[in-house]
């Protein structure tokens, strides 16, 4: 067993014994999980443990050496999922969370393991079955946006975020002389058009990265929505614009365009969402948020490309994605007319 896994097993065993009150409890079958916002492991806890906790579970721990905020704030993620338990939106069940130093030295949460699959995991599934699942995913997004955020405000730890604030954060990324001007292209022009037409949009719970890779399915239904690292309270159409952006090949070129193949196109997603929402959906606002999603991801792409080329964050994948950045900005301008 690798040294890190041995250490994690010892820490996990101390945690489960403390939480269950069972001196014989122990974590076993520990396996690393993918993810960037901290360390993640799946593990098994016998169901005979006192307290009724058992089975396959998941541990997430905040990364070392970073400020516990934003995507690294795993306790906030746990509180968000906990607040949604029993709602129309299925989430992983939260078992424990905290920041007691004696366990991992950093904040953590333990959740139930979600048994299911993502659409990307079943490429050979018949297309009509994939489309039914994708429709269920979009309907779940609409259900998320129907949930009353006010009694759950404390889980997010703040007031709704205005669009002007999100644009200002992107300004800090765009207004850098170190970005490749050939990739930035018409981003400043798109920014000004977006800023001049900011909509007064409906406020609610925003997942922040709602796409089919973050939706787990099982038995023909949504089993859980996962990865709440950048969830916020704000304009709900941020989510709709985001999922439409990644389903629209007109924003991508080359290999990146091949990777955008979706069982539902952007217009179909909007149609399903509008029918399921239960509240009015302004199509002009939808176009604005689709353009904003392209602007946002395009700026993030240009910034990450700069970090890669300067040796600050080695990730050659951004070279490929950055080929599409000018197209993202162009299509954003088209959507705004």
Q: Around 303, how many Cα atoms within 13 Å sit in the side-chain half-sphere? A: 15
Do 55 and 176 belong to one domain?
no
- How much of the chain is in helix, strand and coil states, percent to nearest 5? 50, 15, 35
pLDDT > 70 fraction of the chain, expressed in percent and rounded: 93
* Predicted pLDDT at 156: 95
pLDDT in tens, 126-152: 999 999 999 999 999 999 999 999 999
Beta bridge partners of 28: 44
- Both tokens assigned to 214: 């973050």
Do 202 and 251 belong to one domain?
yes
Angle at 291 between CA 300 and CA 242, to 5 degrees: 65
225 phi, psi to nearest 5 deg: -100, 130
Are 244 and 270 contacting, i.e. CB atoms less than 8 angstroms apart?
yes
Residue finishing a domain among 91, 112, 133: 112
Q: Distance between CA atoms of 252 and 322, rounded to whole angstroms?
A: 9
Do 67 and 163 belong to one domain?
no
Residue finishing a domain among 70, 88, 112: 112
Q: Which residues of the chain fall below pLDDT 70?
A: 1-5, 35-38, 47-51, 256-261
Residue finishing a domain among 96, 112, 128: 112
Do 108 and 123 belong to one domain?
no
Nearby residues of 93 by Cβ (< 8 Å), 6 or more positions away: 85, 111, 112
* Predicted pLDDT at 48: 61
Do 88 and 135 belong to one domain?
no
Query: What's the structural domain count of the chain?
Result: 2
- The distance of Cα 138 from the centroid of its chain, to the nearest Å, equals 15
Do 257 and 199 belong to one domain?
yes
Do 94 and 213 belong to one domain?
no
Candidates 152, 167, 232; CA nearest to 199 is 167
* Predicted pLDDT at 261: 58
Do 163 and 92 belong to one domain?
no
Domain range for 95: 3-112
- Both tokens assigned to 183: 């990739």
As to burial, measured by CB atoms within 10 angstroms (0-12 exposed, 13-18 middle, 19+ buried), residue 60 is buried
Do 324 and 196 belong to one domain?
yes
As to burial, measured by CB atoms within 10 angstroms (0-12 exposed, 13-18 middle, 19+ buried), residue 166 is middle
Do 89 and 215 belong to one domain?
no
pLDDT in tens, 169-214: 999 999 999 999 999 999 999 999 999 999 999 999 999 999 999 9
């Amino acid at each position: 067993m690798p040294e890190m896994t041995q250490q994690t097993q010892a820490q996990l065993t101390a945690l489960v014994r403390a939480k269950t009150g069972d001196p014989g409890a122990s974590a076993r079958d520990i396996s690393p999980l993918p993810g960037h916002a901290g360390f993640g492991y799946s593990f098994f806890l016998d169901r005979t443990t006192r307290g009724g906790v058992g089975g396959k579970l998941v541990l997430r721990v905040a990364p070392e050496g970073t400020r516990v905020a934003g995507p690294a704030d795993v306790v906030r993620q746990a509180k968000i999922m906990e607040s949604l338990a029993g709602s129309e939106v299925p989430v992983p069940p939260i078992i424990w969370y905290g920041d007691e130093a004696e366990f991992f030295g950093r904040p953590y949460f333990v959740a139930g393991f979600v048994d299911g699959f993502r659409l990307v995991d079943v490429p050979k599934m018949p297309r009509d079955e994939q489309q039914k699942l994708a429709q269920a995913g979009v309907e779940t997004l609409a259900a998320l946006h129907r949930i009353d955020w006010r009694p759950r405000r404390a889980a997010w730890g703040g007031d709704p975020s205005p669009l002007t604030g999100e644009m200002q954060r992107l300004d800090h990324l765009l207004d850098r002389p170190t970005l490749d001007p050939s990739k930035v292209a018409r981003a400043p022009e798109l920014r000004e058009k977006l800023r001049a037409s900011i909509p007064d949009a409906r406020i609610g719970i925003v997942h922040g990265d709602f796409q089919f890779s973050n939706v787990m399915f099982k038995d023909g239904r949504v089993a859980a929505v996962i990865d709440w690292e950048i969830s916020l309270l704000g304009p709900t159409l941020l989510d709709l614009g985001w999922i439409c952006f990644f389903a629209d090949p007109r924003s991508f070129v080359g290999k990146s365009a091949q990777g955008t193949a979706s069982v539902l196109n952007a217009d179909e997603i909007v149609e399903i969402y509008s029918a399921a929402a239960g509240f009015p959906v302004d199509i002009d606002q939808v176009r604005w948020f689709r353009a904003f999603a392209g602007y946002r991801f395009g700026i993030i792409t240009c910034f990450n490309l700069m970090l890669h080329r300067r040796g600050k964050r080695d990730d050659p994948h951004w070279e490929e994605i950055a080929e599409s950045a000018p197209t993202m900005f162009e299509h954003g301008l088209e959507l705004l007319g």
